[in-house]
Amino acid sequence: MFTKTDTFKHYLIGSPSIEWDNSVILNSAKEFAANKADISAKVFMSAGGVSDVAASMLILDNLLQDKDKQSRTLKITTHVFDGETHPSVLPAHISRGLRTVYPYYG
């Protein structure tokens, strides 16, 4: 999403491992935002509230929401599903995510 911005237009990002590989995702997002790059995409990002990835996902969300305020074509929705764990959040993530990035399926 940050390096090949024209590859996809819809993203479902579930329980993202922001710290994976020395925080490569977060570093890419920071560079993307610093360069004021633009992307035309709808993004749904979620995690379970009982999962340890929810807090780091919200860090990424804050960074991208700042970018979202500068871009009219990047639309980000983030949700923490209370009471859900890393594996149990998957059905809710898929259902809500598809309805968010493809609203005509709702």
For the chain, 106 residues long, give each residue's pLDDT as a single digit of tens.
888 888 999 999 999 888 889 989 999 988 888 877 778 899 999 999 998 889 889 989 988 887 666 677 889 999 999 999 989 999 999 999 999 999 876 5
- 43 Cβ neighbours under 8 A, 6+ residues apart: 1, 10, 11, 13, 64, 74, 75, 76, 77, 101
> DSSP state, 82?
T
At 85 the three-state DSSP class reads coil
Q: What is the CA radius of gyration of the chain?
A: 13
What pLDDT was estimated at residue 18?
87
Q: Look at residues 51, 43, 54 and name the one whose alpha carbon lies nearest to residue 18.
A: 54
- Residue 90: CATH number of its domain: 3.40.50.1820
Q: Does some domain include residue 37? A: yes
Instruction: Determine, yes or no, domain membership for 4.
Output: no
Is 2 part of a structural domain of the chain? no
Residue 15 domain-assigned?
Answer: yes
pTM over 0.85: yes
Query: Residue 67's pLDDT is what?
Result: 64
Domain of residue 40: give its range. Answer: 10-105
Residues 55 and 66: their CA atoms lie apart, in Å, by 17
Residue whose token pair is 């509230």 = 49
How many structural domains is the chain composed of? Answer: 1
75 within domain boundaries: yes
